[in-house]
Amino acid sequence: MDTLPINHGKPWSKEAMIEVYEKAFKHKDDPKILDKLADQYGRTSVSIKLIIRGIEREKFLKSRNIKKLIHFTDERNIKSIMKNGLISVDTLKKKNMHYYNCDDKRLDGITHGISISVTNRNDYLLNAYHTRQEREWIEIELDPYLLCKANCYFFDTNAANNKFKNCHDELENVGAFQSMFSDEVIIQGGRTLKRTNQNINETTCAQAEIIVKYQIPKSKIIKITKINVS
């Protein structure tokens, strides 16, 4: 059996995390830098990678002044959400938990994740779902810094767009996050959408989304508000 690194499982200090990030950035052209840092700090290379990823995301959140993430759902799910947090459809089914489905089509196929938007609610999807079935809706405001540790995908437009097919692994890095705010985004049908008058914390495409895998704990919920759909 392989011996675990000396500091495996021990909490990181903020100072050590920043130090690791700075060293990784300084030696970013070294293909073995993760392994070298893992040896130096008595950690696994995966742990080093996650620390770097978290700091990159935190810095980007601050640079864009992102204060909130938004999810919306059927109001009847509120009791479960307040108890268990937000849970993916796959996990709900696996645990045999009752829920009210908002999107029975789920064209993106990512049923192991929870869709959230940045700063603003995706009213295009909300209206589309409400047209299919009129009901009461709630908006859930989430702490954006949940992204620093979350396993998630960043999509610069609707996740069901064919351009994302078979390339989800490429959408986990901070570059994919940054692309949500690009000057130009390729949207449905291969058309180009240009960034115009959006605020710094608003995505270029209103349908850009982040899909967080598996679950978002209730501790990350800031506020829940009823939505008036006209």
Extract the tokens encoding 73.
């759902």
**Residues 203 and 182 reside in one and the same domain:** yes
Task: Give the list of residues 6+ apart from residue 115 with CB closer than 8 angstroms, or none.
Answer: 71, 108, 159, 209, 210, 211
- Residue 3 inside a domain? The answer is no
Q: Hey, which residues does 185 pair with through a beta bridge?
A: 193
User: Do residues 114 and 189 share a domain?
Assistant: yes
Domain membership flag for residue 1 = no
Mean pLDDT of 48-71: 97
* pLDDT surpasses 60 at 1: no
Any domain includes 87: yes
Q: Within a domain: residue 5?
A: no
Q: Which residue did the predictor score with more confidence, 221 or 3?
A: 221
Judge if 83 and 197 occupy the same domain: yes
Answer yes or no: do 51 and 77 share one domain: no
Same domain, 57 and 102: no
Please indicate, yes or no, whether residues 183 and 85 belong to a single structural domain of this protein.
Answer: yes
CATH code for position 109: 3.90.210
Shared-domain flag, residues 221 and 123: yes
9: in domain: no
- Domain range enclosing 43: 14-63
Same domain, 54 and 86: no
On whether the CB atoms of residues 224 and 136 are closer than 8 A, the answer is: no
Does residue 176 sit within a domain?
yes
pLDDT tens digit string along 111-146?
999 999 999 999 999 999 999 888 999 999 999 999
pTM above 0.85, yes or no: yes
Q: Are residues 26 and 83 in the same domain?
A: no
180 φ/ψ angles, rounded to the nearest 5 degrees = -65, -15
**Are 156 and 218 within one domain?**
yes
Q: 176: part of which helix (H) or strand (E)?
A: helix 174-179
User: How many percent of the chain have pLDDT more than 90?
Assistant: 83
How far apart CA 97 and CA 114 sit, in angstroms, is 16
Residues 95 and 179 in one domain: yes
56 is a domain residue: yes
Distance of alpha carbon 147 from alpha carbon 223, whole angstroms: 17
Decide which of 48, 63, 78 is a domain's last residue. Answer: 63
Is position 6 within any domain?
no
Q: What are phi and psi of 70, to 5 degrees?
A: -130, 135
Residues 213 and 110 in one domain: yes
Is the pLDDT confidence value at 9 over 70? yes
Number of domains comprising the chain: 2
What pLDDT, on a 0 to 100 scale, did the predictor assign at position 109?
A: 84
Residue that is last in its domain, among 23, 46, 63:
63
Which residue(s) pair with 137 in the sheet? Answer: 74, 227
